[in-house]
Chains A and B, each alone.
Chain A
Amino acid sequence: MTLAKPRRWKVWSRSKDVTAPLLLFIAIVAAWETLVRSLAVPGYVLPPPSQIAIEIVRDRGIIFDQLLTTLFEIACGYALSVLVGFCLSILIVYSSAFRRGVLPLIVASQTIPVIAMAPILVIWFGYNSAPRIIITALVAFFPLTISFVTGLQAIGPEFIDFFRSLNASEIQIFFKLRLPAALPNIFGGLKVATTLAVIGATIGEWVGASAGLGYLMAQDTAQLNTARVFAALVVLGAFGMAFFAAVGLIERWSMPWVYGQPFFARMWQSRAA
């Protein structure tokens, strides 16, 4: 019962948070609509927002079918990039030879345009989802690796000395010290990687695929069906925001010492008490 008041405050302040960006968004959309109509811009150059909305509703079946393909690639590619990034970061943190020898190669790999790699990966792995998953991971793993490394090295040396003075093993130092201390950086990387994974999967489909939103956009661009290209972009953008928000939510729940106890933990505690 005592929780009710601060809760209400929170909802009020949240709604205030949302108002400003929402108004800005509506203003931009309205300006876009007005300009396109008053200047009589052809639809294949820049469709008005209303036409994009109509397109999303009318072709929802096609768009969401293709979205599912893209989502599968994003999920697999993201998971792969997290796995690779995590393993690489451990090697970089614990092996100076690896750090000196392999880190420059990883940096160099990031200067290769993915758009040039994509067709080669299709030649190597065939006309299936594998090359697109790899491209997604290739785009997303680098910032993940760097943020994991930064995080795992974030803890002060005095904490490590303190753990050593307690005769802690290296494994205990990793799991009970380095890893929890790395969480803020790890989640920073995980959030950046969500948007990169969306871009990676789309590029992969654009270059060589027979399904997915990227493929749909490539087809529609060639046919000057610009409205549906924008429709696909809006759906993709909405998913990207949801993905980012979901990782942000997990971040809040994983670090109660920064963000406070999540609401379900408070409910559980008050029920237990």
Chain B
Amino acid sequence: MSDARLLISNLKFAYTAESGRAIPAIDQVDIKLRPNDFVSLIGPSGCGKSTLFNIIAGLLVPDAGAVALDGVDILGRPGSVAYMMQRDLLLPWRTVLENVTLGPELAGRPLAKAKAAARNLLRRFGLEGFENAYPATLSGGMRQRAALLRTILCERPVILLDEPFGALDALTRAAMHEWLAGVQREFQRTMILITHDPDEAVFLSDRVYVATQRPMRIAGTVDIDLAPPRQRDVTMTPAFLDRKRTVLELLHSAPTR
């Protein structure tokens, strides 16, 4: 177990409704990530995936279970992992450069150094020439890349991605997948991705966790042993389709209500 970067064990969480009744959201979740793993969590809408991320990010405290980063308990301790939420959440009053250096700024790290690091990465993130642009002038794909650059510049070992490409059109999304795979290799971060899209999950991941309906359990895991670097045409190969079928079967085997 000592090789785990992020270890989530026996997690249980219930919301308290206004009536005082407990509404279970997470029944039993165990997830293990080794350093530089890319893991996807796929499940039906409203199954409690975002709740799980809020717990890992330290925004919610579970009723039972543990979350450990490199063996250290991080329950209820925000700032331990970097969290990229569903919407890009770029601040409209800040330029791209001011947005992407928000993490170091809030942490009180030297801003000049962070800005220099950000400038060096703008080209890699397709934002060259836009450092002084406001987010309102960017395309959807550029906004997501800026949000991801901001997440990377938080300098955290683990990155949580909550459906980052959900709002993008199919073509942009496919381009973003290949690009994200490259970024993950290059920056050596451990990533968990929440998604509804089996192609996205299989294409990007080393391992896919399939979640059940709320309250969430893990219905099963699928190892995606396709050699990197994966190109777009891998999605047409029998090996890819076979993994995707396993994921879909697990998704559909989960009892629905």
The chain A residues found within 8 Å of chain B, CB to CB, are 158-159, 161-168, 172, 176-177, 180-181, 183, 255-257
Contact = CB atoms under 8 A, between A and B. Distances in A.
B19 to A, nearest CB: 21
A176 B87 CA distance: 19
A162 B79 CA distance: 10
Interface in B142-177: 154
27 contacts: A158-B87, A158-B89, A159-B91, A161-B54, A161-B59, A163-B106, A164-B59, A165-B59, A165-B78, A166-B78, A166-B79, A166-B83, A166-B106, A166-B107, A166-B154, A167-B79, A168-B106, A176-B91, A176-B105, A177-B91, A183-B93, A256-B134, A257-B92, A257-B93, A257-B94, A257-B134, A257-B136
Given A161-B54, A166-B78, 18 more contacts: A158-B86, A159-B91, A163-B106, A164-B78, A165-B59, A165-B78, A165-B85, A166-B102, A166-B107, A167-B107, A172-B106, A176-B91, A177-B91, A180-B93, A181-B93, A257-B92, A257-B93, A257-B136
B165 to A, nearest CB: 17
Interface in B209-255: none
Contacts of B83: 162, 165-166
Given A158-B89, A159-B89, A257-B134, A165 B106 contact: no
Contacts of A181: 93
Interface string B48-71: 000000100111000000000000
A167 B104 CA distance: 11
Interface centre among A163, A166, A256, A257 (most CB of B within 10 A): A166
A158 B90 CA distance: 11
B103 interface: yes
Interface residues of B, number: 23
Please report whether the interface of chain B is mostly helix, strand, loop or mixed according to DSSP: loop
Closest 4 CB pairs of A and B: A167-B79, A165-B83, A257-B134, A165-B57
A161 to B, nearest CB: 6
Interface of B: 54, 57-59, 78-79, 83, 85-87, 89, 91-94, 102-103, 105-107, 134, 136, 154
Nearest to A169: B106
A255 B93 contact: yes
Q: Is the interface of A mostly helix, strand, loop or mixed?
A: helix
Contacts of A165: 57-59, 78-79, 83, 85
A185 to B, nearest CB: 14
A26 B86 CA distance: 55
A161 B93 contact: no
Nearest to B78: A167
A167 B106 contact: yes
A127 B79 CA distance: 58
A176 B93 CA distance: 10
A249 to B, nearest CB: 18
Contact of A162 (B85, B105, B134): B85
Residue of A162, A165, A176, A256 with most chain B CB atoms under a 10 A cut-off: A165
Nearest to B54: A161
Contact of B91 (A158, A168, A180, A183): A180
A25 to B, nearest CB: 36
Contacts of B107: 166-167
A172 B102 CA distance: 11
Contacts of A167: 58, 78-79, 106-107
Nearest to B104: A166
Nearest to B133: A257
Contacts of B91: 159, 176-177, 180
Contacts of A257: 92-94, 134, 136
A190 B156 CA distance: 42
A178 to B, nearest CB: 12
A164 to B, nearest CB: 5
A273 to B, nearest CB: 11
A175 to B, nearest CB: 11
A165 B83 CA distance: 7
